[in-house]
Amino acid sequence: MTDLPAYREPAFHGTIGAAREDITPPVGIYARNWGAAEHDTAEGIHRPLTATAISFQAESGLPLIMLSLDLGWWRTAEDEWAIRRAVMDALGIDESRVMAHLTHTHAGPAVCREDAGRPGGHLIPAYLDKVTESAVRCAVRARESAQPANLTWRFGTCDLATNRDVPDQAADRLLSGFNPAGAADNTLLVGRITADSGDALATIINYACHPTTLGPRNRLISPDYVGAMREVVESATGVSCLFLLGACGELAPMEQYSADAKLADSHGRRLGYSALAVLEGMLPAGTRVEYCGAIESGSALADWRRLPDSPPSSELKAAMNTVEIPLKEWPSVEELGEQFAGCRDRALAERLARKLRVRRMVGDGNTTTRKLWLWQLGDSVIVAHGNEAYSLMQTTLRARFPGRPIAVANLVNGACGYLPTEEMYDCDVYPVWQTPFDRGSLERVIDASIHEIQELTGWGS
């Protein structure tokens, strides 16, 4: 008989729970996320914003808590840390065991207490207190509701993401928009969580595409395409769907920067239907497909059948490490503060404000250290960081560890700057001039991630 290996989907078995909280802000909150925006405050709600938590735990030991919040990006390290620290304190866990991820909607409220003096800014402190309380409740409920379950992974594709580094026909620069000639990673990674009882518990969607459907003219609070994606998946599965934004530095929808909320919903349905196609093709939890011999018919047929499988891996590990990366020769915090104070141009002032806050995060030195979080969940690894990496990060890690589900998540436990590829530093393009990180920083982060995956799992050593 031909010795063909059985097909089984990568999985993890442990104690898993999920929970959801509403974190929709009040209408009127400061929500100016675009330099070109002519408004300052949110005038309505397109879809609610949510916090979703999943708790992972082995038979013994402390849980890992994954949080996904429908927010844009952190302006200061202090505002982010306040939420993560509250979750850590509530569950008695250390920093390596919490991933607080932002879905990166560009149609959310400003989440910076320093903006309290801006129009609608008086609502920010109370709103951030609400988000903190909701995140803690969500994490605690996920842990308390946990039960024995399998997390099973499968790859798929979705063509929503396109390359957004497009040459400007009128100037020697690149714009952030649709580049029909550019390559785009369209990989979709779906995780299905099924209780040992057979009940569905949750779904994880890892996909790399900027949530920038709604742009400067939009005046509504919205999770962008993520909201409709969740609605499609949750309507079909009956359980919460947690979204992890992948390495999307150069990836975005073809149509974006719109004021039409229906377009965001259309984008979300495309991703949701793609995710459902992946879920439909997954094997039932606890099964494998095995070659059982030939069937002689008009043709010789290979007979593959579903059979009960042995329990999946229960390996659960968490690691946190730092990477030292070079910084550009930017003005100091003091110099940027003076430039901002004297600026009267609305769009330029917005750029300077962001640059000043980023400089504060990385310091005035020539290098800075950034953290990496890595979790091993059975046959899979989640790699998370607080920056906006180009898709080279996820494609390289998946190629380096073939057959292993590697979920890469941007904007976890902070937000600072882009990580463009080395060759992009020869271009005049937003991700290059926005970031404080110098040429080669992405490649250093990728190399460090490969090393940490090997150290954590022993794969490829």
**Average pLDDT value for the chain:** 96
Under the banding of pLDDT at 50, 70 and 90, the label for residue 1 is: very low
Q: Tell me whether residue 3 is in a domain.
A: no
Under the banding of pLDDT at 50, 70 and 90, the label for residue 338 is: confident
In this prediction, residues 398-414 reach a mean pLDDT of 97
In this prediction, residues 340-346 reach a mean pLDDT of 86
Q: What is the pLDDT of residue 2?
A: 58
| pLDDT score of 152 more than 90 | yes
Q: Tell me whether residue 41 is in a domain.
A: yes
Q: What is the pLDDT of residue 344?
A: 86
Q: Tell me whether residue 354 is in a domain.
A: no
| Tokens 């979204």, located at residue | 243
Poorest-confidence range of 146-155, 159-168, 342-351, 417-426? 342-351
Under the banding of pLDDT at 50, 70 and 90, the label for residue 222 is: very high
The residues that bridge with 201 in the sheet, in sequence order, are none
DSSP string, 197-226: TS-EEEEEEEE-----SB-TT--EE--THH
The domain in which residue 243 lies consists of 11-285+314-327+366-457
Q: What is the pLDDT of residue 436?
A: 94
Q: What is the pLDDT of residue 310?
A: 93
Q: Tell me whether residue 53 is in a domain.
A: yes
Under the banding of pLDDT at 50, 70 and 90, the label for residue 453 is: very high
Under the banding of pLDDT at 50, 70 and 90, the label for residue 336 is: confident
344 CB-contact burial (10 Å; exposed 0-12 / middle 13-18 / buried 19+): exposed
Q: What is the pLDDT of residue 346?
A: 76
| pLDDT score of 348 more than 90 | no
Q: What is the pLDDT of residue 359?
A: 87
CA distances from 121 to 59, 79, 419 (A): 45, 14, 30
Q: Tell me whether residue 42 is in a domain.
A: yes
Q: Nearest Cα to 46, choosing from 227, 232, 212?
A: 227
Residue type, 449: S
Q: Tell me whether residue 342 is in a domain.
A: no
The residues that bridge with 385 in the sheet, in sequence order, are 372
| Tokens 């999946």, located at residue | 312
As a whole number of angstroms, the distance between CA 346 and CA 37 comes to: 9
Under the banding of pLDDT at 50, 70 and 90, the label for residue 35 is: confident
Return the ∠ at Cα 447 (arms to 445 and 449), rounded to 5°: 70
In this prediction, residues 392-408 reach a mean pLDDT of 97
Please give the helix or strand (H or E) that residue 446 lies within, else none. Answer: helix 441-457
Residue type, 80: E
* In the chain, % of residues over pLDDT 70: 99
Instruction: Convert 63-75 to b/e letters by CB count within 10 Å (16 or more is b).
Output: bbbbbbbbbbbbb
56-89 per-position pLDDT tens digit = 999 888 999 999 999 999 999 999 999 999 999 9
CA distances from 3 to 6, 85, 304, 403, 449 (A): 9, 52, 13, 20, 35
Tokens of 137: 């409740």
Q: What is the pLDDT of residue 187?
A: 98
The residues that bridge with 324 in the sheet, in sequence order, are 369
| pLDDT score of 207 more than 60 | yes
Q: Tell me whether residue 65 is in a domain.
A: yes
Return the ∠ at Cα 398 (arms to 12 and 98), rounded to 5°: 50
Domain count, the chain: 1
| pLDDT score of 331 more than 90 | no
Q: Tell me whether residue 236 is in a domain.
A: yes
| pLDDT score of 432 more than 70 | yes
* In the chain, % of residues over pLDDT 90: 90
In this prediction, residues 110-127 reach a mean pLDDT of 97
CB 197 within 8 A of CB 227: no
Poorest-confidence range of 6-10, 15-19, 350-354, 424-428? 350-354
CB 230 within 8 A of CB 241: yes
